[in-house]
Chains A and B, each alone.
Chain A
Amino acid sequence: AQSVSQHNHHVILSEAASLELGCNYSYGGTVNLFWYVQYPGQHLQLLLKYFSGDPLVKGIKGFEAEFIKSKFSFNLRKPSVQWSDTAEYFCAVNSGSARQLTFGSGTQLTVLP
């Protein structure tokens, strides 16, 4: 069975700092990779996704992620965070044949003004 690990449970940054959130998955076949964001009290929104092609994908709100197949990783990055980026971030994966998403445990990002 596939699994997703997010090792950073809580990250605290000051505004304008750079962000990198780690995501590793365990599945050897073809995968689809996603990052979702959940703002306080709200539903999950898709930040970006990777299916194939260029391993560096750009999403909304200045976020990007890089798929490194050899490391089974899909880390999320943003060069300069804002206070409004405070939220819970979830990495998710499904394999080529499965519909269901497997989520990581989430990373709470707090950006201090």
Chain B
Amino acid sequence: DTAVSQTPKYLVTQMGNDKSIKCEQNLGHDTMYWYKQDSKKFLKIMFSYNNKELIINETVPNRFSPKSPDKAHLNLHINSLELGDSAVYFCASSQEQGFPYEQYFGPGTRLTVT
């Protein structure tokens, strides 16, 4: 009964490939997020999305695109992977109504680009 789950946990791939990371939440939340954690543990928001709007951090390359088939899922698709994309990617979710934006995080996906 994991609240926020991500697959895969580890992803090793070569430069130039296209890959996706899946995220699912069973909390009934209406907003989901993707964060990137670099090798120095710095966490940076990439996207936030609910059924009303997608907010993109302006520093995120357009090779990254979130795709939401429904409220419970927000997948991250990455085109033409680069070495600098190696990081841990965390999905999170929150409920816009109620406690303001308390976010619940998934276990992370460690992406290694070779």
Q: Are A100 and B48 in touch, CB under 8 angstroms?
A: yes
Q: Number of A residues whose C-beta is below 8 Å from B? A: 24
Q: Are B48 and A44 in touch, CB under 8 angstroms?
A: no
Indicate which residue in A51, A103, A108 contacts B100 across the interface (CB closer than 8 Å): A51
Indicate which residue in B41, B57, B99 contacts A106 across the interface (CB closer than 8 Å): B41
Find chain B residues with CB under 8 A from A96 CB. 100
Q: Is the interface of A mostly helix, strand, loop or mixed?
A: strand
Interface hits, A14-48 → B, CB 8 Å? 32, 34, 36, 38, 42-46
Write the B43-71 contact mask toward A (1 if CB under 8 angstroms, else 0): 11100101000010100000000000000
Find chain B residues with CB under 8 A from A42 CB. 107
Which size class do B's interface residues fall under? 20 to 34
Nearest-neighbour CB distance to chain A for B87, whole angstroms, equals: 14
Find chain B residues with CB under 8 A from A51 CB. 99-100
On whether A34 and B102 interact (CB within 8 A), knowing A43-B107, A43-B108, A100-B33, the answer reads yes
Q: List the 8 closest pairs (A to B, CB-CB), nearest first.
A: A103-B43, A44-B105, A100-B45, A43-B107, A43-B105, A106-B41, A99-B48, A32-B100
Residues of B within 8 A of A (CB): 31, 33, 40-45, 48, 50, 55, 57, 90, 92, 94, 96, 99-108
Residues of A within 8 A of B (CB): 32, 34, 36, 38, 42-46, 49, 51, 88, 90, 94, 96, 98-103, 105-106, 108
